[in-house]
């Protein structure tokens, strides 16, 4: 809507000097789009910034600012993150589940991606299909079906942290597969074939050529999976058993529905920091190793399913 009106307005009214600018930069008014760009970023990030800010509020309110304080992080004797065992535990559980999800999903996803790459037979299509189906299905459906699964036929697993992990793994595998596969596609088979021409067995070629080259992709998928499972809500809530299985996302939800307190903003902010650190690290590592191995970003993006 806005780009269209902008271009129409531009086409109607401007001539001369501006026209020369148009020649060099022929699509839409940059200034207007900059407004759009900045407005979007502000609109997306400002509420989160306020939520983080209120975690430092000196009173209990999450809407009225009364001054800066570390009360909800350390000093409040009962309800700060430091002193409230439930909050602390939620932080630990979130980190535990996210790490576990990475450990489950990345190896499986890697294996899956390699298999899909090599296996040209009839099964590969349906395997890929099933995986993508699980990717696009709304999370609630997956969560409820696993919930019923663990309560009835798989009662020996039951609910709780192990099943939360399995559920998160289910959600995360497609991400690993997609990222690794896109990298595989851009790498092509030449390097592996070259290795085998030089006498390596397929397994050796895999281990010594392909896997190292996939390093950045593996790392990137690990980082992305970590960041998004850290905040997962629907799946972990459905499969939780006791208070010990509560994560930060569940704690925020519970508090938002009963009695919001800045302490909950505080644990949310801590998770924010954790995710940001992980993603920034991943980005730096990916960029550095990708530059070193000379891969092309564009080729990777070509292979993404969007």
Q: Return the structure tokens found at 176.
A: 């690993």
Closest distance between another protein and the C-beta of residue 33, in Å?
A: 4
Q: How far is CA 92 from the centre of its chain?
A: 19
Question: Looking at 20-98, which runs of residues are DSSP E strands?
Answer: none
Contacts to another protein from residues 127-156, by CB under 8 A? 127-134, 136-142, 144-149, 151-153
- Tell me: does residue 30 bind another protein (CB under 8 A): yes
Min separation Cβ 222 and another protein, Å: 13
| Torsion sign over Cα 153, 155, 157, 159 | positive
The mark string for 204-223 relative to another protein (x by CB under 8 A, - otherwise) is --------------------
165 binds another protein (CB under 8 A): no
Tell whether residue 306 is a contact of another protein (CB under 8 A): yes
Nearest residue (CB) to another protein, 67 versus 153: 153
At 46, is the secondary structure helix, strand, or coil? helix
Examine residue 281 and tell whether it contacts another protein (CB under 8 A): no
Which of 68-76, 193-201, 212-220, 273-281 is the region at the interface with another protein (rule: CB under 8 A)?
Answer: 273-281
Answer for which of 18, 47, 68, 201 binds another protein (CB under 8 A) is 47
Q: Which stretch binds another protein (CB under 8 A): 67-75, 181-189, 199-207, 210-218?
A: 181-189
Residue 72 near residue 55 (C-beta atoms within 8 A): yes
Name residues contacting another protein, limited to 61-80 (CB under 8 A).
61-64, 77-78
Nearest to 236 by CA among 150, 167, 133: 167
Cβ atoms 102, 222 nearer than 8 A: yes
- C-beta separation of 272 from 51 below 8 A: no
Among 114, 218, 236, 248, binds another protein (CB under 8 A): 248
The C-alpha atoms of residue 185 and residue 177 are separated, in whole angstroms, by 12
Rounded Cα gap, residues 276 and 184, in angstroms = 27
Interface residue with another protein, options 81, 180, 269, 295 (CB under 8 A): 269
Query: 105 and 173 in contact (C-beta within 8 Å)?
Result: yes
CB closer to another protein out of 42 and 199: 42
What would the two tokens of residue 249 be? 């996302």
Per CB under 8 A, which of residues 103..122 are in contact with another protein? 108, 112, 115
């Amino acid at each position: 809507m806005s780009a269209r009106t902008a271009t129409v307005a531009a086409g109607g009214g401007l001539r001369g000097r501006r026209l020369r600018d148009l020649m060099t930069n022929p699509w839409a008014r940059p200034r207007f789009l900059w407004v759009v760009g900045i407005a979007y970023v502000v609109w997306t990030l400002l509420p989160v910034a306020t939520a983080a800010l209120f975690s430092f509020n000196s009173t209990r309110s999450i809407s009225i600012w009364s001054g800066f304080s570390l009360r909800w992080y350390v000093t409040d004797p009962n309800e700060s993150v430091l002193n409230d065992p439930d909050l602390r535990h939620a932080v630990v559980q979130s980190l535990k589940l996210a790490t576990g999800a990475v450990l489950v999903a990345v190896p499986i996803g890697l294996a899956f991606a390699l298999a899909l790459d090599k296996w040209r037979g009839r099964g590969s299509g349906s395997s890929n299909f099933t995986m993508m189906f699980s990717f696009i299905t709304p999370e609630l459906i997956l969560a409820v079906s696993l919930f019923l699964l663990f309560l009835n036929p798989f009662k020996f697993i039951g609910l709780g942290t192990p099943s939360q992990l399995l559920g998160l793994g289910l959600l995360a595998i497609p991400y690993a597969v997609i990222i690794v596969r896109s990298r595989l596609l851009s790498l092509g088979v030449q390097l592996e074939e070259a290795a085998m021409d030089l006498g390596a067995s397929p397994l050796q070629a895999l281990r010594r050529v392909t896997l190292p080259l996939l390093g950045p992709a593996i790392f990137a998928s690990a980082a992305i999976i970590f960041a998004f499972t850290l905040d997962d809500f629907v799946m972990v809530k459905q499969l939780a058993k006791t208070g010990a299985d509560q994560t930060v996302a569940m704690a925020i939800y519970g508090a938002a529905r009963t009695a919001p307190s800045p302490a909950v903003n505080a644990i949310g902010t801590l998770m924010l920091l954790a995710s940001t650190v992980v993603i920034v690290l991943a980005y730096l590592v990916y960029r550095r190793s990708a530059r070193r191995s000379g891969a092309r970003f564009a080729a990777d993006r070509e292979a993404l399913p969007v």
